[in-house]
Homo-oligomer: A and B are copies of this chain.
Amino acid sequence: MRRTLLQILLPALTAAVVIAIWMAINLGLSADTRFLLPGPGAVIDAFGDQRTELSRAAWNTSQGALIGFGLAIVVSVLASLLLSLSPLVRSSLYPLLMALQMTPLPILAPICVLWVGAGLKSVALLTFVIAFFPLVVNTTQGLISTDRNLVEFFDLCRASRWQQLFHLRVPAALPYFFTGLRIAATLSPIGAVVADMNAGTSANDGGGLGFQAVIYASQAKYAALFATAITTCVLGFLLNAVVLGLGWLALHHWHDSYERSDR
């Protein structure tokens, strides 16, 4: 009971402190530079003024982020299964994945636009590229960190490779997988925003948050820019909350990272 209350109060307190610091800096800035950090009031006004653009942009970016995130999950799990097969496979394929991750967006974005067209598809694809790597590294590490004694038990049971994967390595990898998932859930919305800046389009669906951010930045609408950033963060928070919930469901009854109520 006291616990639950704290669990709500403390984060709220943190938020309050952040807003207080924000306001203090805003007031402390000279009149000349205040525009760089608009106050909370101005940002709230911006939310009101720009609600049509922002909600449309948020909707577009959410789609891109979710599709990219989903794609990253599916592909990274498959890739991790492959990579977990042996150190040789890893040393052969990891460099490829790293190269994909490290190719700068100015190269990737135009290719992507030419390939699948600008807008949602490109944004989802670029988001995928951004969210994929942390997932694949964590999931692979999880898959290869399985307790050797349990692996031997499965060998003895003459379990097939698949059985060993699904009954042993995959569940044992979940703590790593969910760690990667949290990183990816945080990177996906911001990845979608960055992708949108490089490959978004106003066609059909209208631009996303990245598109809006470029417009606001070029017009020095800093309050609106902050509103865009806050909207991105909210998307990330929501995605993270879902991931945290799933992690709890999958792990709390056995993993040591969750406090045991039955001590």
List A residues 237-263 near B (Cβ within 8 Å). 237, 240, 255-257, 259-260
Binds B, one of A49-57, A67-75, A116-124, A134-142: A134-142
Please determine whether A186 and B133 come into contact, CB atoms closer than 8 angstroms: yes
On whether the beta carbons of A146 and B256 are closer than 8 Å, the reply is yes
Chain B neighbourhood of A104, CB < 8 A: 190, 193-194, 197, 209-210, 213, 228-229, 232
Are A103's CB and B33's CB within 8 A? Answer: no
Contact of A137 among B95, B183, B226 (CB under 8 A): B183
Interface of A is mostly: helix
**Of the residues B92, B106, B145, B197, contact of A255 by C-beta under 8 Å:** B145
**Residue among B87, B107, B147 making CB contact with A259, cutoff 8 Å:** B87
- A138 partner, pick from B107, B114, B179, beta carbons under 8 A: B179
- Chain B residues with CB under 8 A of A92: 10-11, 13-14
Q: CB distance B145 to A101 under 8 Å? A: no
CA distance A104 to B236 in the complex (A): 12
Given A11-B95, A14-B93, A176-B179, A110:B229 Cβ within 8 A:
no
- CB-based nearest B residue for A89: B10
- A residues at B contact (CB < 8 Å): 6-7, 10-11, 13-15, 18, 33, 36-37, 87-88, 91-93, 95-96, 98-99, 101-107, 110-111, 114, 133-134, 137-138, 141, 144-148, 175-176, 179, 182-183, 186-187, 189-190, 193-194, 197, 209-210, 213-214, 217, 225-226, 228-229, 232-233, 236-237, 240, 255-257, 259-260
